[in-house]
Amino acid sequence: MVQKILFLFFLFSGILVAQSPPQLPFELLQQPAVVEAWGKFMHKQGAVGTLIGGHLKKADLASAYKEWLAIHELAGAMPDTVKQLMASIPIEDYGMEDWGRFELARSLAELEVPETRAAGFHELIQLAAMSKASFGASAKEVLFKNRKDPVLQAVVQEMKKGGTK
Amino acid sequence: MKCIFAGFLLLASIVSAQDPAAFKARMLAYQDAINYSKIETDVMVDLTSLSPEGAKILQVEGFDDLNDFWKASRRDPTRLFLSRSTPKPPEFHKAGTTLYGLLYVEEKYVDLRKKRAVFLTKETLVGVKYPRGKWKKILRFRQKGYAGKTEAELVRSNFPDFPAAIKFADPVAVSLGPSGPSMHPALAKLSQPEPDPPDIVALRVETLVERALAVGDFKRASELIANGKEELGTSARLLQYASLTFEKFARYEVARNTERLKHPTSRLAAMVALLEIASFETRSAKVAKSTLAPFSGSEELKQAESIASKLSTEVTP
């Protein structure tokens, strides 16, 4: 029994000692490998920013969201040290969130008018598909609250028939 | 019992692995590393004036605190500073053997919490010099549990011999009205409130327009611009930025709804939205009209027109 306890003790101690303490941004910036990886990411982010800007100019929020999501995925695949550095620097959305909130507000206004209610739900479903963005999450909430609304159910049925998600 | 002993050893090893002093040192170094912001010289108070005794006010102990105070004020997200200057050098008042340095500061800022009133303030006590002592920075007392008290109370509670004759108005004590320009009590003789300067009116309109557009309320934004232009009269050109913002949102809405016209479920709503944009005097209105042209005479467009006209007559709350 004592041997088991000692074994566990040394195991836990070993794990704890092996864990390096979290590094602060200015310490991380002194590591060339981190700076290089971060620089590459920032370069990529800049390029994606141009693409997002182009999509938003054409009011194509869904394409802008795809680019934005890709850059977040890239950030997620970065080494832990770079992630630590990036934790203090938010990833740019290049105005995507603002336009998303604008579209959300316009869709909510459409829900108020019986004739445009279906269109409002249709738009909200599309916004809800962008669930990683804050406006997407809000759209999801609205849809959930109205889940029993026959107009929404009809729109969902129609979208399913049409093969749209 | 053995388990408790093992747990104790485990906890002890966790605690010993952390070095609070080292972490604190690293954190302080980090704070130093990020504290790079500098105050622009044009907004800094001129503290190089000589005191009556010939001592440079830069020798005031706690100058750093004053510096920090200005910095903190500059960072205050509730205030938008338009200007800050010292129209005259600091004044010094003797009370017995104590010397008080009074700095006349004039600052003009927009209080973002109080309907964007322009606020003028004067008179800030800079420091106190004791007999044969160094200057003491008065604002330091703010950090010693005096939060909530006004500057004047702060001074008088700490310095009972502070000359009562000295005019020392506390900026915090100045009450602001629900709207319109606010005045420092020293300017109370000007009974008629001054109208807001055009740039402030424009700034206020811009902000309200941006807010309205962010929530998709084109009607309200349009009304705000029209009212702002009327209020500004010859200075209406100051609303150019607000008009451009309106145009940006209108362009986006036209592009978005042009795409929505292709889908049967959202076609009617898209038409209503395009009709709304078409009703404003913007470049996008022409685009909206030309987008709707192919539907001219259709039942769907007629229905959309009926909805749009009903919505346009609704009163904005």
pLDDT mean over A52-76: 94
When CB atoms are compared, the residue of A27, A61, A158 closest to B265 is A158
pLDDT at B140 over 70: no
pLDDT at A150 over 90: yes
Same domain, B261 and B300: yes
B42 assigned to some structural domain: yes
Same domain, B155 and B47: yes
Same domain, B154 and B205: no
Same domain, B138 and B224: no
Same domain, B171 and B293: no
The confidence band for B107, taking pLDDT boundaries of 50, 70 and 90, is: low
Residues belonging to chain A with any Cβ–Cβ distance to chain B shorter than 8 Å: 1-2, 5-6, 8-9, 12-13, 16-17, 21, 24-27, 56-61, 98-99, 101-103, 105-106, 109-110, 113, 115-116, 118-120, 122-123, 155, 158
Give chain B's domain count: 2
Query: What tokens does A100 get?
Result: 């998303």
The confidence band for B158, taking pLDDT boundaries of 50, 70 and 90, is: low
Q: Identify the pLDDT of residue B49.
A: 32
pLDDT mean over B25-46: 37
3-state percent breakdown (helix, strand, coil) of chain B, nearest 5: 55, 15, 30
Q: How many Å lie between the alpha carbon of A112 and the closest alpha carbon of chain B? A: 11
Alpha helices (runs of H) in chain B, residue ranges in sequence order? 2-17, 20-34, 63-75, 151-158, 198-214, 218-232, 240-260, 264-278, 283-292, 299-313
Q: Do B249 and A102 touch (CB under 8 A)?
A: yes
Could you give phi then psi for residue B120, rounded to 5 degrees? -110, 140
Pairing of strands B91-95, B117-121: unpaired
pLDDT mean over B241-250: 94
Same domain, B42 and B171: yes
With contact defined as beta carbons under 8 Å apart, do B40 and B34 qualify?
no
Domain limits for position B175: 38-187
B13 assigned to some structural domain: no
pLDDT at B104 over 60: no
The confidence band for A81, taking pLDDT boundaries of 50, 70 and 90, is: confident
* Domain-terminating residue out of B187, B214, B243: B187
Q: Identify the pLDDT of residue A32.
A: 84
When CB atoms are compared, the residue of A56, A102, A116 closest to B214 is A102
Residue with tokens 């750093």: B64
pLDDT greater at residue A117 or residue B142: A117
* Domain-terminating residue out of B152, B187, B222: B187
What gap in Å lies between CA A48 and CA A54, rounded to an integer? 10
pLDDT mean over A57-84: 91
Query: What tokens does B119 get?
Result: 């606020």
B6 assigned to some structural domain: no
Q: How many Å lie between the alpha carbon of A16 and the closest alpha carbon of chain B? A: 7
B75 assigned to some structural domain: yes
pLDDT greater at residue B228 or residue B42: B228
When CB atoms are compared, the residue of B2, B255, B266 closest to A123 is B266
With contact defined as beta carbons under 8 Å apart, do B245 and B210 qualify?
yes
Containing H/E element for B110? strand B106-111
Contacts 24+ apart (CB under 8 A), B282-287: B282/B246, B282/B247, B282/B250, B283/B247, B283/B250, B283/B251, B284/B247, B284/B250, B284/B251, B284/B253, B284/B254, B285/B250, B287/B251, B287/B254
Query: What tokens does A113 get?
Result: 């008018």
Q: Identify the pLDDT of residue B170.
A: 41
Measure Cα distances from A106 to A120, B129, B145, B215, B310 in Å: 8, 62, 49, 7, 17
Per-residue pLDDT of B256-271, as tens digits, reads 999 999 999 999 999 9
B2 assigned to some structural domain: no
The confidence band for B155, taking pLDDT boundaries of 50, 70 and 90, is: low
Same domain, B180 and B244: no
What value does the mean pLDDT of chain A take?
85
Same domain, B66 and B165: yes
Same domain, B44 and B81: yes
What value does the mean pLDDT of chain B take?
64
Residues belonging to chain B with any Cβ–Cβ distance to chain A shorter than 8 Å: 2-3, 5-6, 9-10, 13-14, 17-18, 23, 26-27, 29-30, 33-34, 213-217, 249, 252-253, 255-256, 259-260, 263, 265-270, 272-273, 303, 307, 311
pLDDT mean over A28-38: 82
User: Which of A43-47, A86-90, B171-175, B299-303 has the highest mean predicted lDDT (pLDDT)?
Assistant: B299-303
Same domain, B179 and B286: no
The confidence band for B238, taking pLDDT boundaries of 50, 70 and 90, is: confident
B20 assigned to some structural domain: no
CA angle at residue B44 from B134 to B93, to 5 degrees? 40
- Among B32-41, B163-172, B229-238, name the one with the lowest average pLDDT: B32-41
pLDDT mean over B142-153: 45
Same domain, B42 and B168: yes
Could you give phi then psi for residue B60, rounded to 5 degrees? -55, 125
Amino acid at A139: A
B69 assigned to some structural domain: yes
pLDDT mean over A70-89: 84
pLDDT at B205 over 80: yes
Chain A residues near residue B252 by CB distance under 8 angstroms: 56, 59, 99, 102
pLDDT at A107 over 90: yes
Same domain, B158 and B212: no
* Domain-terminating residue out of B187, B209, B228: B187
Nearest alpha-carbon partner for B312 in B266, B280, B286: B280
